[in-house]
Amino acid sequence: MVGLGDRGRRYAPFTVNIERLKPFHTLTGRMHFYVDHDWMRDLGETMPIYRPPLDMHRLFGEPRLGPDGRQQVVVRYLTPHSKWSIHSEYQDNLFMLSLSRGGPTVWMSPQDAGAIGAADNDWVECVNSNGVLVARAIVSHRMPEGVVYVHHAQERTIDVPKSEATGRRGGIHNSVTRLLVKPSHLIGGYAQLSYTFNYLGPTGNQRDMVATIRRRSQEVTY
């Protein structure tokens, strides 16, 4: 079981702060939600609030979200942690391939798959101004309409056919993504907002990615 620690106790964050009274790495040494930083005040984000995704059509000319009358659909393109691998752990061995579809996949809702005439395990292409991804569709009721998942770190070494859009090899999960830096992520030297390697830095806002998906010919070439 992943996450078991000493004497079979499950891992939990902030245990040392609560049980051993180690101060939190904040200005007050306590857990708090309010961040009294001038940038956060200017942005109106001193407290946790909801910010809707960016309008990528108005800002960057990306397609509008939703079906557009053709056999394609425009969706939000998310790249969550991989389901069958962990960062540098290879998937192209028999054990790992037996757990998945054996190649790149796109998780789609039944509504979005139906809009482009795609069934489970059909080949689809995800395209935007950044690049293209060729993968098999996993049609699941667990996916909300208008959103697709492409788990990151899917190896490009197995079952990656050529794209109909470009004629080149069909990309990876990051082929259609780009980095958008949120200004507040650049705050540094301010208690818990101080930079630590691999923990805090100018991260990308991947939920603002938009891609067009269509069902492609099922006769793929490599």
pLDDT digits (tens, 9 = 90+) for 14-54: 889 999 999 998 888 998 889 889 999 999 999 999 888 88
Q: What pLDDT is stored for residue 152 in this prediction?
A: 79
Supply the mean pLDDT for the chain.
84
Of 89 and 146, which is predicted with more confidence?
A: 146
Give the predicted TM-score (pTM) of the model.
0.80
Q: With 50 as the cut, is the pLDDT of residue 70 above it? A: yes
pLDDT, position 163: 93
**Mean pLDDT score, 77-90:** 71
Domains located in the chain, CATH noted: 16-50 (no CATH), 56-179+206-215 (2.40.40.20)
Higher pLDDT, 73 or 203: 73
Q: Are 108 and 140 in contact (CB under 8 A)?
A: yes
Task: Identify the residue with better confidence: 157 or 186.
Answer: 186
Q: 68 pLDDT exceeds 80?
A: no
Over residues 167-210, the pLDDT tens digits come to 988 888 888 888 787 888 888 888 888 766 666 566 656 667 89
Give the pLDDT confidence of 87-133 residue by residue, as tens digits.
556 667 777 777 777 788 999 999 999 999 999 999 999 999 889 99
**What's the burial of 185, exposed, middle or buried (CB within 10 Å: 0-12/13-18/19+)?**
middle
Q: Rounded distance, CA 49 to CA 53, Å? A: 13
Identify the band that residue 141 occupies on the pLDDT scale cut at 50, 70 and 90. very high
- pLDDT band of 1, cuts 50, 70, 90: very low
| DSSP category for residue 69 | S
